[in-house]
Chains A and B, each alone.
Chain A
Amino acid sequence: MNITGKNNPYSDIGKLSHINRCIQCGTCSGSCPLSDKMDHAPRELFALIREGSYEEVLASITPWFCVSCYACMVRCPKEIPVTDLMYAFKEKAREQGTVPKNLNMTDMYDAFSKTVKQFGRVTESFLMGRYGMRHPISAVKNAPLAVKMALRHRLELKPQKIENPDTITRLYELTEKGGE
């Protein structure tokens, strides 16, 4: 199946055609600080796509471990937008409901996103509070650290807001509707 072919049901994944240029040199995987935590190296995802194994890519934990450091993208000799593709894979996985289970970080993504949607910026206590509701054990583990931070005035308990949080909320609504 051709990556850019009309009959490819996954051709709407952003910037997918760039993968055609990949020479499998491994610069992306070698540059990736979290490559060892991933089930597939970034390079492998591109090889999987070329053989048509989209389901495997979209169920992979690799994109979710991407920390957007952009080292791969800066170094890729074929100028493949690796980080952008990781976002596109996450988006597609979410859309079709193949986000890997038991990944704590997806709840972190949600907690982060909701906090920003509500206040326009992140307040640690709210972020961790939201995350802790899903992961009570982790919340208990983190509690001593929170206390330490609070004692040193490093933990804001009141929500930090931007001037017009509703502008951010509107932006969210627009993008959720599928706008750019």
Chain B
Amino acid sequence: MTSQNQPKTSIPKIGVYVCHCGMNIAPKVNVEEVAEHVKALPHVVVARDYKFMCSNPGQDMIVNDIKELGLNRVVVASCSPRMHEKTFRNALRKAGLNPYYFQMANVREQASWVTKDSVEATEKAKALVSAAVTRVAFHQPLLTREVKVEKSILVVGGGIAGMQAALTSAQAGYQVYLVEREPSIGGHMAKFDKTFPTLDCAACIMTPKMVDVYQHPNIHLFTYSEIEKVEGFIGNFEVTVKMKPRYVDMTKCTGCGLCMEKCPTKKITSEFNEGLSKRTAIYTPFPQAVPNVPVIDAENCLTLGKGKKCGVCAKFCESTAIDFDQQPEFKTVKTGAVIVATGFKAFDPGSIGYYGYGRYPEVYTSLEFERLNNATGPTAGKLVMKDGRTPQRVAIVHCVGSRDQRHKKYCSRVCCMYSMKFAHLIHEKTGAEVWEFYIDIRSPGKNYEEFYNRVQEEGVKFVRGRVAEITDMTDDPKDRGRLTVVAENSLTRRTLRIPVDMVILSVGMEPSPGAEDLGRLMGVSRDADGWFNELHAKLAPVATPMTGVFLAGCCQGPKDIPDTVAQSMGAAGEAIALLSKGSVTTQAEISNIDEDLCTGCKSCIAVCSYSAIGFDEVRRIAVVNEALCMGCGSCSAACLSSAASVRHFSDKQVMGELEMLL
């Protein structure tokens, strides 16, 4: 930054501007009275009130006063600094004043909006503005600096969100590291059969993307890996990735699949097929896995887990890729930005006893149904019940675990649409009668309502009522062996007891189980439901309060594939925008250690979370690395000799402010 420096000893000449904010501040707070009140304070040269300080005329007023009255300090009493601090600092810069000679008093969120009584609100505003005036007198000019950034992006999670973010970033020429916990990328979308509302085959649109990710020269793929450690700051993160042992040498394996054929342990529940089929101990989750290199499930492997002399896979492997001695490997990568795309986990309906999931074999979750209906699934796409018969009547239960205060209070957004997709597919494949039990149909998306209408036209029976119970007690003896779905049709006010052959529970979404740990590593907070917090619900939906960390896909909240892809491209775009300049401006409010006062006790070094303080062995004092310091103030609190302080938050400034407030 090139703003001119004001001499430190300048006598303060303060201008105070009280904003009406239209009808937001003015009628509640008597703005004229506030302006009049602060005029009496020391060093105040001018105090005005104006309708909209943030408008161009408002800003020009400040610029003119600085030039004409020779102001060297400015206070604006208006909204939150998060809203307009930048605006007014820029006005100061425009007038040739160091932007840190500015202080904002928040008389909207902290006075007019939250105080009922007009007199009280005015009194509070006076106190807030007086505090700002006292504080600004002690302000020092500060400088920001440019720091070089690493032109690479790390993406956590290899589902459709992570893959898309990685591809967009890689296409822009950035080095991308994509970290996926599972043995293959693909995520949930790889499990789906068709996708609403256009009914494209998920595999057909997914597998080419997976191959693109694998083959892109700019993408380095870490599968079967997790984030171990995150250090550094915006533009200069250092992330340690833990690569779990596959027990298969990726450089040697040709993906022939002979090991999987020969492995004697064949009865392990397949995670990918949602428990509906079995797999071997050495396996790839699905035939189109990327990379097409199997992993050994150490727990179930005879050699690794049970300590037996098996080694069949190693004997048959012609490229000698099997390596039972593999250990976890750790690799540290430097990255400028991080995109978190850890996705979701399907709600487990086992906790809703009255739906009988886990008790009745013909009650399926939606993900199980996706596999059952999938050409690569356990029945090769043939839609049959566990006994091999084709269902005659199927019930689809909406809102399982969603919109439920006992489980997930939010709407999971995708269940209505995929439920109707199921109805269509069942109808198409088997001709079975399909009943949809819904509370409200939520189809807000391009061509979504049209899809709803299409399914209605196909003769699917929609019942407005949440299912109260699923039971194997049948009313009619000839229905024995079937399930009965009990629900009130709230539009006819009749309780229905419908005998069906198969029930699909449209389960909602919950955050991925690793999100909590990752949030802690990254310093990204989560909301009450466990979803990652975006910086601003409307205007910064992919950024996080941790600068340089962005969000993509369901880790931020439930969303469908089109929204996920759009957000992923948005996150990649934000990351690229951040890094493309090659440098970022660091904040000026960072730690400052007074060389004369420092006793070299190293207390500050111990408390610094950003490893930003080093020790000068020659002078025996602590030294701040300005590029790493985030200005959190821990060192200032820990310092025993008052040597450490945070710029813009000196004792004089803070105490001066407090004195006027109390």
Contacts and interface: CB of A to CB of B under 8 A. Distances in A.
B466 A30 contact: yes
Given A25-B490, A30-B487, A77 B495 contact: no
A35 B399 CA distance: 23
Interface stretch (A36-44, A85-93, A126-134, A137-145): A36-44
Interface in B470-525: 486-490, 493, 495-496
B405 A29 contact: no
Contacts of B493: 29, 41, 44
B354 A26 contact: no
A113 interface: no
Which of under 10, 10 to 19, 20 to 34, or 35 or more describes the interface residues of B? 20 to 34
B36 interface: no
Contacts of B404: 77-78
A75 interface: yes
A30 B399 contact: no
Interface in A1-49: 23-32, 35-36, 41, 43-44
B403 A29 contact: no
Contacts of B466: 25-27, 30, 77
A3 to B, nearest CB: 18
A84 interface: no
B601 to A, nearest CB: 55
Contact of B439 (A23, A41, A44, A71): A23
Interface residues of A, number: 20
A30 B405 contact: no
A35 B488 contact: yes
Contact of B490 (A29, A31, A32, A36): A29
B469 A79 contact: no
Contact of A23 (B403, B467, B496): B403
Interface in A96-147: none
A79 B495 contact: no
A26 B490 contact: yes
B405 A35 contact: no
A41 B406 CA distance: 23
Nearest to B468: A30
A26 B487 contact: yes
B465 interface: yes
Interface string B590-625: 000000000000000000000000000000000000
Given A29-B488, A41-B488, A78 B405 contact: yes
A27 B406 contact: no
A36 B440 CA distance: 24
Given A43-B490, A44-B493, A77 B403 contact: yes
Contacts of A77: 399, 403-406, 466
B488 A26 contact: yes
Interface string B428-462: 00000000000110000000000000000000000
Contacts of A71: 468
B289 to A, nearest CB: 38
A60 B165 CA distance: 59
A30 B463 CA distance: 12
| Chain A CB within 10 A, most for which of B439, B440, B490 | B490
B399 A31 contact: no
Contacts of A44: 493
A30 B406 contact: no
B240 to A, nearest CB: 43
Contacts of A24: 439, 490
Given A30-B495, A43-B490, A25 B405 contact: no
A79 B488 contact: no
A27 B468 contact: yes
A78 B399 CA distance: 13
Nearest to B487: A30
A28 B465 CA distance: 10
B85 to A, nearest CB: 39
Nearest to B496: A30
A82 B469 CA distance: 17
B500 to A, nearest CB: 15
Contacts of B489: 26
B468 A75 contact: yes
A28 B468 CA distance: 7
A175 B105 CA distance: 57
A19 B331 CA distance: 56
B488 A43 contact: yes
A75 B488 CA distance: 13
A26 B465 contact: yes
Contact of A79 (B399, B405, B440, B496): B405
Nearest to B489: A26
A35 B464 CA distance: 17
A30 B498 CA distance: 12
Contacts of B440: 23
Contacts of A32: 495
Nearest to A21: B405
Interface in B399-422: 399, 403-406
A24 B438 CA distance: 11
Contacts of B354: 75
B410 to A, nearest CB: 12
Contacts of B490: 24-26, 29, 41, 43
B495 A35 contact: yes
Contacts of A25: 399, 439, 465-466, 490
Nearest to A23: B439
Contacts of B399: 25, 77
Contacts of A23: 403, 439-440
A27 B463 CA distance: 13
A101 B609 CA distance: 74
A153 B141 CA distance: 99
Contacts of A36: 495
B403 A79 contact: no
Given A44-B493, A77-B405, A30 B486 contact: yes
B609 to A, nearest CB: 40
B499 to A, nearest CB: 16
A18 to B, nearest CB: 11
Contacts of B496: 30
Nearest to B485: A30
A66 B464 CA distance: 23
A35 to B, nearest CB: 5
Contact of B465 (A30, A75, A78): A30
Contacts of A43: 488, 490
Contacts of B487: 26, 30
Interface in B328-369: 354
B439 to A, nearest CB: 4
B468 A79 contact: no
Contacts of B403: 23, 77
Nearest to B493: A41
A32 B488 CA distance: 9
| Chain A CB within 10 A, most for which of B405, B466, B486 | B466
Contacts of B488: 26-27, 29-30, 35, 41, 43
Given A43-B490, A75-B354, A31 B405 contact: no
Interface in A63-87: 71, 75, 77-79
9 contacts: A23-B403, A23-B439, A25-B399, A25-B439, A25-B490, A26-B489, A28-B468, A31-B469, A77-B466
User: What 4 pairs between A and B have smallest CB-CB spacing?
Assistant: A30-B468, A26-B488, A25-B466, A77-B404
Interface of A: 23-32, 35-36, 41, 43-44, 71, 75, 77-79
Given A26-B488, A78-B404, A78-B405, 4 more contacts: A25-B465, A30-B467, A30-B495, A43-B490
